[in-house]
């Protein structure tokens, strides 16, 4: 995983609560056996007026002009701004894969669903939870100012707008470190091989039936 | 000494180490695998040149893409076929036990785990599927994970986790006659909301939960994720042990006795401390019907769609083609789906069959289908003659799989079609682009098939 770097990006407001992972990437695209190539199908049912199929060339599909990411001012957004419980529903990691493939590196929301939140960190996406009044005010700003951007500084845990307004955010230290260092979690766990093996031997003695099937 | 919750006990017994940063390394006993969320994990493992940690911990089954009819013809959609073939090839190459499409025990992963005795009390169980919470009904700590974590478990038999908080949802009293586990969990989600359980593992307790069958408990734990909690839990009791006994892969003989001694300790201690406790009275619950595009947008069949100035209500109603104030009983349906990891077990099919017995599906219904959760469920139902009851009434009797719960195979809603479904999600497009889903119990779906609209199955004269 690449290290998370400080960046400045356009913010796109998706002013809606409870956006589920079925909406982020519909089921037909889950048939792929690869991790990449989901970007064109991100929010497929909201973004296009026709029905999309995996592998389809999206360049001449009819666009839903009302959908935020189709509007010229938000097309190059790398920060998604949304409401509560973003990413609820299915555990499909295809959702963060699609967001990343589209170019989204940070998601700001009032809150996130647990599995999606966790999946973001495995893919170098930073999900930031902010209080609803902060989200409300940011949504206002994106609507009033074309090209409204934020600088995301993870090491300092702050967002900065072009007026130098600073918005601090919370993040657990282990998650922050994982993103900043592009941590290989599996590699980290495998550095504990002896500990896992010794746990396993003890576990087998206590609960031998687990190992019988 | 402070008592432990059931969740604490399960957590502690699988703790390999606690890290200084607040995370823990948790040992995983059972890893269930299906075709949709695993190919990239196997590929990742190969690319990193890592090997499978413990082969026997893994069990696989294709379920999402599987056709529910004319199965002998194979999978028509080449992309679906490639995904299932990839699972078969990965399992063959890593020697993982797999219930292939042609296996008589194939079925939905969350149905076959408990049915085969692969899900046991006290285990940690994960799967790249959010409805893994189902297995918590047996007193196991079970939760859904993403594909990166699937790879992590394949390679290390562990996961780096942060302990969630403890919530107890206590349902006191008795459910009224005809009220099912599905009505109960929809009612709870309606009260606490789809994010009400975020950050928690939810243990369900109280007399109404204890009275539920194991199938009913699985329905409740299955939909815990629709309340935002990754894991649902129910304490082990005699019903749990009776259910697990003599399953193909459950322990036998002396090992059974030893296991039971341990499993009987799997309840929260009397003095356990929960971070949050919510209580409900079971006798307040009526048959429930969702009317929106989130499981929390739900009401009792006798009610009208509520009035609200909340934006999310209007957005949902626009999609659903409904209006505030409309009685639930006035909603006309096009299709009926009885199936999914929520409600496709034998008891669910019996409940539905009891309703349709001797009746006919309404002419206004385009398609009514029953999709059993597994091969053994289908066989059992056929031995009891349930298939005949459904077929005589005009239902299609299909082969097991996830089917129209998420419409990855050929079973789906067309745009604008309205379905009474026993599944778990009424999200936009879930059952097919533009499709409209109303989540209900098997009995309610069955009665809706007969009438063409929703009725209250607990009224003796619903059929008139």
- Per-position DSSP letters for A143-203, written without gaps between them: HHSTT-EEEEETTTTEEE-TT--EEE----HHHHHHHHHT--HHHHHHTTHHHHHHHHHHH
| Tokens found for residue B103 | 């296996």
Q: Does residue A24 belong to any structural domain of this protein?
A: yes
pLDDT at residue B2 in the model: 85
Residue B219: both structure tokens together? 């329905």
Q: Which of residues 346-405 of B touch A (CB under 8 A)?
A: none
User: What residues of B are in contact with residue A207 (Cβ under 8 Å)?
Assistant: 13, 29, 122, 259, 262
Distance, in Å, from the CA atom of B30 to the CA atom of B140, rounded to the nearest integer, reads 10
What pLDDT was estimated at residue B170? 98
Core vs surface per residue A93-112: b (16+ CB within 10 A) or e: bbbbbbbbbbbbbbbbbbbb
Query: Facing residues of B419 across strands?
Result: B335, B437
The answer to whether the CB of B90 falls within 8 A of the CB of B100 is no
Distances (CA, A) of A202 to A189, B18, B79: 19, 17, 44
Start-end of H helices in B342-453: 346-356, 375-383, 386-393, 442-451
- B374 neighbors B111 (Cβ within 8 angstroms): yes
Q: Is the pLDDT of residue A212 over 90?
A: no
Pair (A33, A119) in one structural domain? yes
Does B83 sit within 8 Å of A22, measured CB to CB? Answer: no
Which band of pLDDT confidence, cut at 50, 70 and 90, is reported for residue A205?
Answer: very high
One domain for residues A50 and A28 = yes
**Inside any domain, residue A1:** no
Say whether residue A49 is in contact with chain B using an 8 A CB cutoff. Answer: no
- A2 in a structural domain: no
B306: β partners: none
Tell me which H or E stretch contains A15: none
A162 lies in some domain: yes
Test A32 with B151 for CB contact under 8 angstroms: no
Q: How far apart are CA B91 and CA B254, in angstroms?
A: 32
Q: Residues A108, A28: one domain?
A: yes
Q: Specify the pLDDT at position B243.
A: 98
Do A159 and A138 fall into the same domain?
yes
pLDDT at residue A213, rounded to an integer: 56
Contacting residues of A for B59, CB less than 8 Å apart = 213
Is B151 within 8 Å of chain A by CB? yes
Domain that holds residue A119: 7-182
User: pLDDT at position B329, please?
Assistant: 98
Residue A67, domain member (yes or no):
yes
pLDDT at residue number B342: 98
Query: Which parts of B251-397 fold into alpha helices (H)?
Result: 253-263, 311-320, 346-356, 375-383, 386-393
The alpha-carbon radius of gyration of chain A (Å, integer) is 20
Q: Which A-chain residues 148-177 have CB contacts (< 8 A) with chain B?
A: 172-174, 177
CATH number, domain with residue A177: 3.20.19.10
CB B268 within 8 A of CB B6: yes
Task: Give A 109-148 residues with CB within 8 A of chain B.
Answer: 111-115, 118-119, 122-123
| Per-residue pLDDT, B305 | 98
Instruction: Report the number of distinct structural domains present in chain A.
Output: 2
Question: Would you call B155 and A85 a contact, using CB atoms and an 8 Å cutoff?
Answer: no
Q: 10 Å Cβ neighbour count for A60? A: 7
> Is A55 within the bounds of a domain?
yes
On whether both A152 and A199 belong to a single domain, the answer is: no
- Collapse the DSSP code of A204 into the 3-class scheme (helix H, G, I; strand E, B; otherwise coil) and give the result: helix
Q: Are residues A39 and A99 in the same domain?
A: yes
Alpha helices in A41-128 (DSSP H): 44-47, 94-102, 114-121
Looking at residue B1, its pLDDT comes to 78
Are A91 and B82 within 8 A, CB to CB?
no
Say how far apart CA B126 and CA B111 lie, in whole Å: 14
Query: B47 CB near a chain A CB, below 8 Å?
Result: no
Closest CA to B427 of A16, A136, A74, A77: A16
Task: Please report, rounded to a whole number, the percentage of residues in chain B having pLDDT higher than 70.
Answer: 100
Domain check: are A176 and A212 in the same one?
no
Same domain, A205 and A120: no
Residue B43 near chain A (CB below 8 Å): yes
Give the pLDDT score at B311: 86
Average pLDDT over residues A45-66: 96
Q: Is residue B440 a contact partner of residue B356, using CB atoms and an 8 Å limit? A: no
Question: Which residues, given as ranges, of chain B have pLDDT below 70?
Answer: none
Residue A41 lies in a domain: yes
| Alpha-carbon span B351 to B269, nearest angstrom | 35
Burial readout B19-37 (b: 16 or more C-beta within 10 A, e: otherwise): eeeebbbbbbbbbbbbbbb
| Whether residues A101 and A189 fall in one domain | no
* A207 belongs to a structural domain: yes
CB B166 within 8 A of CB B7: yes
Do residue A32 and residue A137 come from a single domain? yes
- Per-residue pLDDT of A98-123, as tens digits, reads 999 999 999 999 999 999 999 999 99
Question: Do A151 and A191 fall within a single domain?
Answer: no
Q: A-chain residues within 8 Å CB-CB of B146?
A: 91-93, 96, 115, 118-119, 122
Is the CB of A93 less than 8 angstroms away from the CB of B117?
no
pTM for the full model?
Answer: 0.98
Same domain, A134 and A210: no
């Amino acid at each position: 995983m690449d290290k998370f770097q400080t960046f400045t990006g356009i913010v796109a407001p998706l002013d809606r609560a409870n956006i589920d992972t079925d909406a982020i990437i519909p089921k037909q695209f889950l048939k792929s056996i690869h991790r990449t190539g989901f970007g064109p199908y991100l929010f497929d049912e909201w973004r296009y007026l026709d029905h999309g199929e995996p592998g389809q060339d999206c360049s001449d599909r009819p666009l839903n002009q009302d959908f935020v990411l189709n509007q010229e001012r938000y097309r190059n957004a790398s920060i998604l701004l949304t409401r509560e419980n973003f990413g609820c529903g299915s555990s499909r990691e295809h959702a963060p894969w699609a967001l990343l493939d589209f170019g989204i590196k940070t998601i700001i929301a009032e809150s996130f669903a647990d599995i999606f939140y966790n999946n973001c960190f495995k893919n170098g996406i930073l999900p930031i939870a902010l209080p609803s009044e902060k989200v409300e005010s940011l949504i206002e700003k994106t609507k009033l100012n074309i090209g409204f951007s934020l600088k995301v500084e993870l090491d300092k845990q702050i967002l900065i707008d072009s007026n130098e307004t600073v918005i601090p955010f919370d993040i657990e230290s282990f998650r922050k470190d994982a993103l900043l260092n592009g941590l290989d979690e599996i590699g980290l766990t495998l550095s504990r091989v002896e500990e896992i093996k010794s746990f396993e031997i003890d576990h087998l003695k206590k609960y031998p039936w687990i190992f019988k099937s | 000494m402070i008592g432990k919750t059931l969740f604490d006990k399960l957590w502690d017994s699988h703790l390999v180490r606690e890290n200084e940063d607040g995370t823990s390394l948790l040992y995983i006993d059972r890893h269930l695998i299906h075709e949709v969320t695993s190919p990239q994990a196997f590929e990742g493992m190969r690319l990193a040149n890592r090997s499978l940690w413990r082969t026997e911990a893994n069990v696989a089954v294709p379920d999402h893409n599987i056709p529910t009819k004319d199965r002998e013809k194979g999978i028509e959609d080449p992309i679906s076929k490639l995904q299932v073939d990839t699972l078969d090839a990965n399992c063959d190459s890593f020697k993982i036990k797999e219930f292939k499409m042609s296996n008589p025990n194939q079925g939905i992963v969350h149905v076959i785990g408990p049915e085969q005795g692969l899900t046991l009390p006290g285990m940690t169980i994960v799967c790249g599927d959010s409805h893994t919470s189902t297995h918590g009904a047996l007193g196991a700590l079970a939760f859904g994970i993403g594909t990166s974590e699937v790879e992590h478990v394949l390679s290390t038999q562990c996961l780096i986790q942060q302990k969630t908080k403890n919530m107890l949802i206590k349902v006191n009293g008795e459910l009224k006659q005809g009220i099912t586990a599905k009505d109960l969990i929809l009612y709870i989600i309606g009260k606490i909301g789809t994010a009400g359980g975020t950050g928690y593992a939810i243990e369900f307790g109280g007399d109404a939960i204890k009275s539920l069958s194991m199938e009913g408990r699985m329905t409740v734990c299955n939909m815990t994720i629709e309340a935002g909690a990754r894991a649902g839990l129910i304490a082990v009791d005699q019903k749990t042990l009776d259910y697990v006994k003599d399953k193909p892969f459950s322990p036998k003989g002396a090992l059974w006795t030893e296991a039971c001694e341990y499993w009987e300790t799997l309840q929260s201690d009397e003095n356990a401390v929960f971070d949050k406790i919510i209580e409900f009275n079971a006798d307040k619950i009526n048959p429930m019907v969702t009317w929106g595009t989130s499981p929390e947008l739900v009401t009792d069949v006798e009610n009208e769609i509520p009035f609200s100035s909340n934006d999310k209500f209007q957005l949902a109603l626009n999609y659903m083609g409904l209006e505030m104030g409309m009685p639930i009983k006035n909603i006309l349906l096009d299709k009926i789906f009885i199936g999914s990891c929520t409600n496709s077990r034998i008891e669910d099919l019996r409940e539905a069959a009891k309703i349709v017995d001797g009746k006919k599906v309404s002419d206004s219904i385009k398609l009514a289908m029953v999709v059993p959760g597994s091969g053994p469920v289908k066989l059992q139902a056929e031995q009891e003659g349930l298939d005949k009851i459904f077929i005589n009434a005009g239902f299609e009797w299909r082969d097991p799989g996830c089917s129209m719960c998420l419409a990855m195979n050929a079973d789906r809603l067309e745009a604008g079609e309205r379905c009474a479904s026993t599944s778990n999600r009424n999200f936009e497009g879930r059952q097919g682009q533009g499709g409209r889903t109303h989540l209900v119990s098997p009995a309610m779906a069955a009665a809706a098939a007969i009438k063409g609209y929703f009725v209250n199955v607990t009224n003796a004269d619903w059929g008139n």
